[in-house]
Structure 1
Amino acid sequence: MNVVCIGSGYVGSVTGTAFAVLGHPTTVIDIDPSKIDLLNAGKSPIYEPGLDQLVRKYIGKTLFATTSYQPVHEADVVFIGVGTPSKQDGTADLTYIKKAAELIGAYLHPHRFTVVVNKSTVPVGTADLVTAIIEEASGLKAGEHFSVVSNPEFLREGYALEDVFFPDRIVVGSNHERAKNIMRELYHRLVERVSYEEISKDFAFPYNPLTPKAVYFETDVKSAEMIKYASNAFLAVKISYINEVARLCETLGANVLDVARGMGLDSRIGGKFLQVSSGWSGSCFPKDTAEFLQTSRKYGTELSIVKAAIESNRKMHEFVVEKIRRRLKILNGKKIGILGLTFKPNTDDARQTQASVIIQMLLDLGANIRVHDPKGMEMFKAVHPHLHVQYCASAEDVAHQADGIVLLTHWNEYLQLDWKQMLSIMKTPYLLDTRNFLPKKLLIGLGYQYEGLGIGTEQEIDGGIMNQFSVLSV
């Protein structure tokens, strides 16, 4: 089938490359020529482990890239994967969706049936909006010449290729039988893992043929649109809950690592998304929860639990800053090193991260900030030019004359740092590990004043994420 993906961001690049790998001639369209030039040169326009290798192999064969919408004319399926950033009031900005729909309408073939797929995370009712725009731009009739369906993405940045080739579920929302049939045919190779033994040789992750097959779930359009928001909001609620439990654990002297593990052993709860942090952030959770809450308010059915999760998340950011202030007292003129700017490891996405919020609070208190991130510094600098911080080429540099170091993102690279050498150049040996990621016992032995979140000041971390102290450079 001829596939087109509008947008070359995290959704479009990964989705387009995946269908090309599966043998569908796929064209990625983006109005940014620099991104298209990268794709045509065999390079991914985003950082995603393993994506460069696939783009390099399939570009010019089954994967193509252009700034022109002409390929829409011959497409069987057109995915819309453009950005939907938040407006000031928290609602989704559909400017790019509307523009994509208008251009799709201008290039639709009048004598073939085309399925237009909303892959971006969009509010309930967006399929109707896109349908109306395409009808007006094309002069064609929905249901006869084209149909708009909802097929939300569930990709985790840093693990997007695993998620696209081995999804838990594929949700397709459509009220049109012909469109449903086309989508079933499109996803057949993925669901049935056709030729996976061969194509998996190019995967940057291990291929396990015993992994359960994806559930192909069909529903109506509005329910599909709702599923994505409801899913992300639920995960945000779960993270906010365990972070609140962590704050209570600190007060009562309990260990949140054991509490979370004990909770997760209950199959009704599960252990995923029970990892304590300085708060959830990133390109999805903040905007999706804000839109979901605003929609509920708009229609008089406020999602009070989502509202509470958003407020709790803000308090978690403040809690981290308060821990630093309690330890270092007056922060005016203090030098603080920050490790990690992206909202999670294995991505360069630094758009709406906990780091930006926490750094702003520290700057407001007069602190001088030095930062490092293995992949995210370029984007962080571009999207947060108002944050006057010093960017360090190496992680060790954040320790220079520092009154404290704060680990915000648990990159594996930070386990390999020469923590003994870093200690020797710090002014005050304070280390706040907001992910309970580093080996507390060893660091205390080196002379650090180590603090985590929700583990108290004297608790030992046994069986945590890192017990093999030998991997640290000491």
Structure 2
Amino acid sequence: MQITVIGCGYVGLTTSVALAYIGHRVHCIDQNQERVQALQNGIVPMHEMGVAELLGQLRDRISFGRWDSFNLTTEVIIIAVGTPRKDNGEADTSYVEAVARELGQRLSGDGLPIIVNKSTVPIGSARRVESVVSYYLKSRGINIPVTVASNPEFLREGVALYDTFYPDRIVVGANQGEAINILREMYAPILEQTFIPPEFLPRPDSYNLPAFITTTPTSAELIKYAANTFLAMKISYINEIAGLAERVGADILEVARGIGLDKRIGVQYLNAGIGWGGSCFGKDVQALIHTAGQYDYDMPLSSATIQVNLRQREEIIRKLQSALKVLRGSTVGLLGLSFKPGTDDLRDAPSITVAKRLIEMGAHVKAYDPVAMENCRKSHPELDMLYANSAEELAHGSDALVLVTEWKEFLSLPYNQLGKLMRQKVIVDGRNVLDRQLLTEAGFNYIGVGR
């Protein structure tokens, strides 16, 4: 199939590469000329496992350009532009609206393609895009039906290709059977798992074929927000229990395992720590709350999810105060900056909140991350923070280390040697992933979360 993807960010580029890999011809459009030129040269302007490798193999089936390269013969148009959060929590749909206007001004009347909302958008956005495209088509004398489907993504940064090739489900919200059939055809190699997996991303042995869920656009849009809010809520819940575990002398790792083995609950997303971050959870929870407010409906659980998450970041500061007593003049080293391993994404990253609070309190802050430091320099030039080139440089002269991002390499650092470089041997394990016994034997004051 001929597919056009609008937006070359995390979602758009991952989706484009995956669709090209399973046999479609994909053209990606982005208004950022620098990003387009980089991709045309095979350079991926983000850190996402496998995307650059596949892109190098697919140059004959995937292309990049700006709006002037738009192809009228495309069969499916996928909108995958950003919907950042406004100050009031509402999703900013201005980029989606701009795409809808462009499509209305460019499409011809010779058989309109199916338009797909893959961006995370407020409820009613499929209808809104349809009305905007129709308005501009009619202003040009074209009066034919416009079909807009909702096809939300459920991708985890760092493993986005894995989630694309081996999803739990594919959700399509559409009011027209033709749109559902075309998207089922587009996803057929994934639904039936007939494609040959990439060498670096083999099909899981226990993988079952994904469900293809068809529903209305409104339900599909709500499924996306409800799913992310529930996952965020699950993390905030275990973090709230972790706070109680500390006070009563329980170990949250044992508590989480004890409740997670209940099949009704499940073990995933029960990892207590510094809390969640990234571009999705906070934005989507806030957008859901804002939507509910428009209907005069209160959502106290969703609101508490955000408050508990913010408290977890402050808890890290409290733990450092308890161990160091006075933060002013102390040096704290952050192990990790990105909001999770496998990405250089710093959107709503706990590390930024912790760094800002420490600097406000007069501490000296150092940081080391294997991939996210350059992004941090560019996106947060206001941070008076020293960037270390290695874990050893980070530890040298530090009074405490805080593990913020659970990069695999941080699990096996020579902590015994690092401790000898520090002024005080304090370590706050913000992800509960380090070997407490090993660190204690090395002379560290080990501080976990809920332990």
In 2, the alpha carbon distance for the partners of 1:330 and 1:298 equals 45
- Secondary structure class of the residue paired with 1:74: coil
Instruction: Note the C-alpha offset of 1:68.
Output: 2.7
1:66-114 C-alpha deviation (Å, 9 max, x unpaired): 1135434111101111111111111111111111111122221310131
Q: Do structure 1's residue 314 and structure 2's residue 310 form an aligned pair?
A: yes
- Secondary structure class of the residue paired with 1:146: coil
Q: How does 1:28-427 map to 2 (within 5 A)?
A: 28-59=28-59, 61-139=60-138, 144-194=144-194, 196-197=195-196, 200=197, 202-208=198-204, 210-427=206-423
In 1, the alpha carbon distance for the partners of 2:205 and 2:316 equals 42
1:65 partner amino acid: F
Instruction: Note the C-alpha offset of 1:407.
Output: 0.4
In 2, the alpha carbon distance for the partners of 1:222 and 1:257 equals 39
Q: How many residues align?
A: 450
- Decide whether aligned partners of structure 1 residues 160 and 190 sit closer, same or farther in structure 2, where only a CA change above 3 A counts: same
In 1, the alpha carbon distance for the partners of 2:58 and 2:43 equals 11
Instruction: Note the C-alpha offset of 1:33.
Output: 1.8
Instruction: Note the C-alpha offset of 1:240.
Output: 0.4
Kept in 2: contact 1:343–1:409 (CA 8 A): yes
In 2, the alpha carbon distance for the partners of 1:233 and 1:42 equals 35
Instruction: Note the C-alpha offset of 1:318.
Output: 1.2
Kept in 1: contact 2:392–2:421 (CA 8 A): no
In 1, the alpha carbon distance for the partners of 2:270 and 2:53 equals 33
In 2, the alpha carbon distance for the partners of 1:73 and 1:336 equals 56
Instruction: Note the C-alpha offset of 1:329.
Output: 1.0
1:242 partner amino acid: I
Of the structure 1 ranges 294-303 and 65-74, higher mean CA displacement relative to structure 2 is found in 65-74
- Secondary structure class of the residue paired with 1:131: helix
- Secondary structure class of the residue paired with 2:309: helix
In 1, the alpha carbon distance for the partners of 2:433 and 2:206 equals 30
- Secondary structure class of the residue paired with 2:131: helix
Kept in 2: contact 1:114–1:145 (CA 8 A): no
Instruction: Note the C-alpha offset of 1:142.
Output: 10
- Secondary structure class of the residue paired with 1:233: helix
1:4 partner amino acid: T
2:321 partner amino acid: R
Q: Do structure 1's residue 8 and structure 2's residue 4 form an aligned pair?
A: no
Q: What do you get for the CA RMSD once the two structures are aligned?
A: 1.5
Kept in 2: contact 1:396–1:417 (CA 8 A): no
Kept in 2: contact 1:104–1:134 (CA 8 A): yes
- Decide whether aligned partners of structure 1 residues 142 and 12 sit closer, same or farther in structure 2, where only a CA change above 3 A counts: farther
Instruction: Note the C-alpha offset of 1:222.
Output: 0.5
Of the structure 1 ranges 117-126 and 291-300, higher mean CA displacement relative to structure 2 is found in 291-300
- Decide whether aligned partners of structure 1 residues 45 and 315 sit closer, same or farther in structure 2, where only a CA change above 3 A counts: same
Kept in 2: contact 1:431–1:451 (CA 8 A): yes
In 1, the alpha carbon distance for the partners of 2:299 and 2:307 equals 13
Of the structure 1 ranges 248-257 and 42-51, higher mean CA displacement relative to structure 2 is found in 42-51
2:175 partner amino acid: N
- Secondary structure class of the residue paired with 1:105: helix
Kept in 2: contact 1:50–1:203 (CA 8 A): no
In 2, the alpha carbon distance for the partners of 1:137 and 1:55 equals 35
Instruction: Note the C-alpha offset of 1:168.
Output: 0.3
2:45 partner amino acid: P
In 2, the alpha carbon distance for the partners of 1:418 and 1:37 equals 41
Instruction: Note the C-alpha offset of 1:41.
Output: 1.8
Instruction: Note the C-alpha offset of 1:445.
Output: 1.0
Kept in 1: contact 2:133–2:146 (CA 8 A): no
TM-score norm. by structure 2 comes to 0.97
Instruction: Note the C-alpha offset of 1:426.
Output: 0.5
Gaps of 5+ in 1: 456-474
Instruction: Note the C-alpha offset of 1:415.
Output: 2.1
- Decide whether aligned partners of structure 1 residues 362 and 419 sit closer, same or farther in structure 2, where only a CA change above 3 A counts: same
Instruction: Indicate the residue corresponding to 2:21 in structure 1.
Output: 21
Of the structure 1 ranges 381-390 and 434-443, higher mean CA displacement relative to structure 2 is found in 381-390
Gaps of 5+ in 2: none
1:27-57 C-alpha deviation (Å, 9 max, x unpaired): 1111112222222222323211111110000
In 1, the alpha carbon distance for the partners of 2:421 and 2:335 equals 16
Instruction: Note the C-alpha offset of 1:210.
Output: 4.5
Kept in 2: contact 1:321–1:358 (CA 8 A): yes
2:26 partner amino acid: T
In 2, the alpha carbon distance for the partners of 1:384 and 1:352 equals 12
Identity across the alignment (%): 39
Of the structure 1 ranges 238-247 and 395-404, higher mean CA displacement relative to structure 2 is found in 395-404
- Secondary structure class of the residue paired with 2:78: strand
In 1, the alpha carbon distance for the partners of 2:391 and 2:150 equals 43
- Decide whether aligned partners of structure 1 residues 267 and 327 sit closer, same or farther in structure 2, where only a CA change above 3 A counts: same
In 1, the alpha carbon distance for the partners of 2:201 and 2:257 equals 26
Instruction: Note the C-alpha offset of 1:143.
Output: 9.8
TM-score norm. by structure 1 comes to 0.92
In 2, the alpha carbon distance for the partners of 1:75 and 1:266 equals 47
In 2, the alpha carbon distance for the partners of 1:142 and 1:92 equals 31
2:38 partner amino acid: L
1:102-155 C-alpha deviation (Å, 9 max, x unpaired): 112222131013111110101101112211221122237999443111000000
- Secondary structure class of the residue paired with 2:193: coil
In 2, the alpha carbon distance for the partners of 1:363 and 1:250 equals 27
2:46 partner amino acid: I
Of the structure 1 ranges 42-51 and 237-246, higher mean CA displacement relative to structure 2 is found in 42-51
1:332-378 C-alpha deviation (Å, 9 max, x unpaired): 11100001111110111112111111111111111110011111112
In 2, the alpha carbon distance for the partners of 1:228 and 1:174 equals 15
